[in-house]
Amino acid sequence: MIPRSPAFSLGCLTVLLATGLAACAHGSSPGPRTADGLELAVYDDHGSGSGDTALLVGSVVDQDGCLTVRQEGTGTSYVPTFPRDATASARELRDGQPVSLQGGAVGARPADVQAPPACDAAGDYWMVVATTS
């Protein structure tokens, strides 16, 4: 066994704590927000090319602090989830605004989606691949 100085042990502990805190902070940091202050649900687009080409047409609704889209005709609510690196147009969304989003529906929140806690009870998730309005 190699003897270690207290300074070496303290340094290792500091590095481990800093790494752990950084990982926790990344997972809980707030996402981008709209002009109205609603946090957007986002995902990391890994360029897999996956995504449906369905079109969600409806209106933006602030559902208890969660940005949702209420589908025209059915009234079904979806939590639109945007690629993290493509949120510029999403940041302009406002409550009541008509919107068309290309993508596809998924039931429960996928593991790689970062969303506000208010969205957990807001409806199914809509994985956005393109904003058309």
Q: Report if residue 4 sits inside a domain.
A: no
Task: Say whether pLDDT at 10 is over 90.
Answer: no
Q: Which residue has the higher pLDDT, 25 or 102?
A: 102
Q: Is the pLDDT of residue 14 over 90?
A: no
Residues 58 and 131: their CA atoms lie apart, in Å, by 12
pTM of full prediction above 0.75:
no
In angstroms, the first-to-last Cα distance of the chain is 66
Q: Is the dihedral of CA 102, 108, 110, 113 positive or negative?
A: positive
In angstroms, the CA 118 to CA 99 distance is 21
Residue 90 lies in a domain: yes
Q: What sign for the dihedral angle of Cα 67, 73, 75, 78?
A: negative
In a domain, 18, yes or no: no
**C-alpha–C-alpha distance, residues 118 and 8, integer Å:** 44
Q: What would you measure as the largest C-alpha separation in the chain, in angstroms?
A: 72
What pLDDT digit, counting tens, does each position of 52-106 carry? 679 999 999 999 889 999 999 999 999 999 998 888 889 999 999 999 999 999 8
**Number of domains within the chain:** 1
CATH number at residue 112: 2.40.50
